[in-house]
C-alpha cells in the first residue's frame, strides 16, 4: 500500500483544487457551486518530490435523501479507512462553520491522524478564519492556498513524519531519489486567468491618468467586478489578448468614476492593494522621485513578495531627460537597494507615450516572478556555486555542509536550502547564493527568498 492521504472537508472548501495541485494535472473539475456531486477520485501526488496516493472525497448534493452529515460521514469513513493520514480542509475565508466542526468531531473519533489545513489563505482575507480554526482542537493549522500554490512546503513538512512512519520517506541520508518534477507541473501560471496588477503611488503622481490610459487604450473593459475582498473593486481589460485586472481596494467611490477608483495613497489601503496584486506599479512624478513615501511603498511591495515595476511619470515635461535619467538611476541605487534590477520605465500617462513599454515590463516581471527552476538544474548550479566559493569552515575547522536545494514555490521564487546547522550559515553566504540565483536564472528585480533548513532534506544525497 503506498502512503495514502485523504482530503476531507465540507463542500466548496477547495478539496478538488488541492487534489489537482498535488496530482499536478487538471484532472478534477473545479466547480464554483458548492456540493457538485462527482466520484471519489484517486491520484498519484507529488509534493516537493515526496510521492503518495491522494484520495479526494466526493462533493455532496443535498438531494433531500439522507442528511448531508450522514452521507459525508459515510464518504469520509471510506476514504479515511484506507488512508495513512487525513487532511481536514477548511475555507479560512468563510471561517469555521458548524459543518467543519461536525467533521472535526467525527474525525477525532477515528484512529487515522488528521492534519488541519486552512485553505484560501492567500492574501489577508483568510487570517481570521485561520486563527479561528485553532479552536477546532486539531492542532496547528497548515495555511495554504490550493489555488495559488502557497504553503506547499509547510504541507510537505506536516506530512513528512507521517510519510516516514509509513515507510514512504526515510528520515535522512537514504531517501529515495526524487523524481524530477516535470517542468511547470506545479504552479504553472494559468494564461486564462487575468494578471492582477495595481497602480500605487503618492497623490497627484498620475495614477488615475495612467489607469484611464490603460483601460481606454485597450477598450475591452468588462466592467467593475465587486468583491475580491469586501471593499475591493477590480476592472478587467485585455492587453494584446492577455487578460488583465486592475485592483483597487478603496472601493467603488462614485459609480460614474470607476476608472478613477485607483488607489489614493493611504498606507492601510496600499498594503491591502499590494497583497491582492501580482504586479504592483509604483508611479512616481519625474519631478520628485523616490521621496520617503515612495521608498516606503517600494519596500512594502518587496516585503510582501510582489513583483514591482517603477513607473516614472510626467516624462513629457522633463527638460533634460539624459540628466534626469542618470539622477534617477543614482537615486535608486543608493536609496533602494532592495529594488536592484527592478524594471524602471519612464512614461507619460497623459500622452500615452511609454505605456507599451510599461506593459512589457509588467508582463516580463510577472513571468520572472512565476519562474520555476527544475530541481536537477538548481542543484547542478548549487554544486558549481559551492565549488567556486565554498562556505566558510565552522568553528573548530569542520566543513560546513550544504546538501540540497529545491524551489518550494514561485510567486515569488522561494527556495529551500538544506544544510547542516542552518543557523551557522553566514548571511553573506546566503546573499552570495541569492545573487547567484538571480543571475543564473534571470530573476532580477523580483523578490527571491531563501530559507535554510537543517536536517529536513527530503531527498538527501546518499552520503547524508
Q: Where are the alpha helices (DSSP H) in 166-231?
A: 207-218
- 339 is a site residue for ligand GTP (CB under 6 A): no
Given 67, 170, 204, 257, the residue binding ligand GTP (CB under 6 A) = 204
| Nearest to ligand GTP of 12, 377 (CB atom) | 12
Instruction: Give the three-class secondary structure for 332.
Output: helix
CA distance 10 to 16: 12
Given 203, 227, 337, 396, the residue binding ligand GTP (CB under 6 A) = 203
Count CA atoms closer than 13 A to 429's CA, side-chain side: 22
Sequence-distant (≥ 6) Cβ neighbours of residue 28 within 8 angstroms: 16, 19, 20, 38, 41, 56
Q: Which three cell numbers stand for residue 282?
A: 509604483
| Nearest to ligand GTP of 133, 208 (CB atom) | 208
| Nearest to ligand GTP of 126, 413 (CB atom) | 126
CA distance 223 to 236: 7
Least distance between ligand GTP and beta carbon 450 (Å) = 24
Stretch that binds ligand GTP, among 15-23, 220-228, 411-419, 428-436 (CB under 6 A): 15-23
C-alpha dist (Å) from residue 78 to 52, 82, 112, 142: 18, 7, 12, 24
| Nearest to ligand GTP of 11, 187 (CB atom) | 11
CA distance 214 to 352: 9
- 423 is a site residue for ligand GTP (CB under 6 A): no
- 450 is a site residue for ligand GTP (CB under 6 A): no
Given 114, 279, 349, 358, the residue binding ligand GTP (CB under 6 A) = 349
Q: Are strands 50-56 and 41-47 parallel, antiparallel or unpaired?
A: antiparallel
435 annotated to a ligand binding site: no
Given 4, 46, 76, 208, the residue binding ligand GTP (CB under 6 A) = 208
Given 16, 53, 273, 375, the residue binding ligand GTP (CB under 6 A) = 16
CA distance 33 to 164: 37
For residue 340, the tally of other CB atoms under 10 A from its CB is 12
| Nearest to ligand GTP of 170, 296 (CB atom) | 296
Spell out, one character per residue from 295 to 314, where the chain touches ligand GTP: x when CB under 6 A holds, - when not. ------------------xx
Least distance between ligand GTP and beta carbon 122 (Å) = 6
Least distance between ligand GTP and beta carbon 146 (Å) = 4
Q: Are strands 233-239 and 242-248 parallel, antiparallel or unpaired?
A: antiparallel
- Residues 146 and 24 sit within 8 Å (Cβ to Cβ): no
122 annotated to a ligand binding site: yes
Q: Are strands 242-248 and 195-201 parallel, antiparallel or unpaired?
A: parallel
Given 317, 421, 428, 439, the residue binding ligand GTP (CB under 6 A) = 317
- 445 is a site residue for ligand GTP (CB under 6 A): no
- 348 is a site residue for ligand GTP (CB under 6 A): yes
CA distance 282 to 402: 38
11 annotated to a ligand binding site: yes
Least distance between ligand GTP and beta carbon 115 (Å) = 16
201 annotated to a ligand binding site: yes
- 35 is a site residue for ligand GTP (CB under 6 A): yes
Q: Which three cell numbers stand for residue 330?
A: 543614482
CA distance 310 to 358: 9
For residue 223, the tally of other CB atoms under 10 A from its CB is 9
Instruction: Give the three-class secondary structure for 273.
Output: helix
For residue 21, the tally of other CB atoms under 10 A from its CB is 25
Spell out, one character per residue from 135 to 174, where the chain touches ligand GTP: x when CB under 6 A holds, - when not. ----------xxxx--------------------------
Spell out, one character per residue from 183 to 202, where the chain touches ligand GTP: x when CB under 6 A holds, - when not. ------------------x-
21 annotated to a ligand binding site: no
| Nearest to ligand GTP of 177, 256 (CB atom) | 256
For residue 352, the tally of other CB atoms under 10 A from its CB is 15
15 annotated to a ligand binding site: yes
H/E segment holding residue 403:
strand 402-409
- 59 is a site residue for ligand GTP (CB under 6 A): yes
Per CB under 6 A, residues contacting ligand GTP are 9, 11-17, 30-32, 34-36, 59, 119-120, 122, 145-148, 201, 203-209, 264, 313-314, 316-317, 348-350
Amino acid at each position: 500500500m503506498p502512503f495514502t492521504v485523504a482530503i476531507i472537508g465540507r463542500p466548496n472548501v477547495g478539496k478538488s483544487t488541492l487534489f489537482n495541485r498535488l496530482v499536478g494535472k487538471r484532472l478534477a473539475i473545479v466547480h464554483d457551486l458548492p456540493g457538485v456531486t462527482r466520484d471519489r477520485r484517486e491520484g498519484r501526488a507529488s509534493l516537493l518530490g515526496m510521492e503518495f496516493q491522494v484520495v479526494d472525497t466526493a462533493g455532496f448534493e443535498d438531494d433531500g435523501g439522507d442528511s448531508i452529515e450522514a452521507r459525508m460521514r459515510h464518504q469520509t469513513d471510506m476514504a479515511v479507512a484506507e488512508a495513512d493520514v487525513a487532511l481536514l480542509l477548511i475555507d479560512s475565508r468563510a471561517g469555521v462553520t458548524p459543518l467543519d466542526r461536525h467533521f472535526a468531531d467525527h474525525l477525532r473519533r477515528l484512529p487515522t491522524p488528521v492534519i488541519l489545513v486552512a485553505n484560501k489563505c492567500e492574501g489577508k482575507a483568510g487570517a481570521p478564519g485561520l486563527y479561528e480554526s485553532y479552536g477546532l482542537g486539531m492542532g496547528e493549522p497548515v495555511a495554504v492556498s490550493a489555488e495559488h500554490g502557497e504553503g506547499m512546503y509547510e504541507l510537505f513538512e506536516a506530512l513528512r513524519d507521517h510519510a516516514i512512519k509509513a515507510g514512504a520517506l526515510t528520515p535522512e541520508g537514504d531517501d529515495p531519489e526524487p523524481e524530477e518534477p516535470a517542468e511547470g507541473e506545479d504552479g504553472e501560471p494559468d494564461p486564462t486567468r487575468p494578471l492582477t496588477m495595481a497602480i500605487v503611488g503618492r497623490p497627484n503622481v498620475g495614477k488615475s491618468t495612467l489607469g484611464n490610459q490603460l483601460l481606454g487604450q485597450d477598450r475591452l473593459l468588462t466592467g467593475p467586478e465587486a468583491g475580491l475582498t469586501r471593499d475591493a473593486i477590480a476592472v478587467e481589460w485585455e492587453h494584446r489578448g492577455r487578460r488583465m485586472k486592475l485592483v483597487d481596494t478603496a472601493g467603488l467611490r462614485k459609480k460614474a468614476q470607476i476608472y478613477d477608483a485607483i488607489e489614493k495613497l493611504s498606507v492601510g489601503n496600499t498594503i491591502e492593494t499590494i497583497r491582492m496584486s501580482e504586479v504592483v506599479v509604483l508611479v512616481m512624478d519625474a519631478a520628485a522621485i523616490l521621496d520617503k513615501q515612495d521608498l516606503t511603498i517600494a519596500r512594502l511591495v518587496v516585503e510582501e513578495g510582489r513583483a514591482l515595476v517603477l513607473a516614472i511619470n510626467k516624462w513629457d515635461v522633463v527638460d533634460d531627460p539624459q540628466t534626469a535619467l542618470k539622477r534617477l538611476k543614482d537615486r535608486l541605487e543608493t536609496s533602494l537597494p532592495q529594488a536592484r534590477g527592478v524594471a524602471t520605465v519612464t512614461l507619460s500617462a497623459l500622452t500615452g507615450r511609454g505605456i507599451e513599454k510599461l506593459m512589457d515590463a509588467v508582463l516580463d516581471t510577472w513571468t520572472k516572478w512565476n519562474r520555476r527552476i527544475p530541481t536537477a538544474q538548481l542543484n547542478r548550479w548549487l554544486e558549481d556555486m559551492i565549488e567556486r566559493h565554498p562556505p566558510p569552515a565552522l568553528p573548530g575547522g569542520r566543513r560546513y555542509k550544504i546538501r540540497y536545494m529545491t524551489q518550494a514555490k514561485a510567486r515569488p521564487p522561494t527556495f529551500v536550502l538544506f544544510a547542516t546547522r542552518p543557523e551557522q550559515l553566514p548571511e553573506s553566504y546566503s546573499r552570495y547564493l541569492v545573487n547567484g540565483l538571480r543571475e543564473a536564472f534571470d530573476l532580477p528585480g523580483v523578490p527571491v527568498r531563501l530559507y535554510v533548513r537543517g536536517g529536513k532534506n527530503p531527498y538527501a544525497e546518499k552520503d547524508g
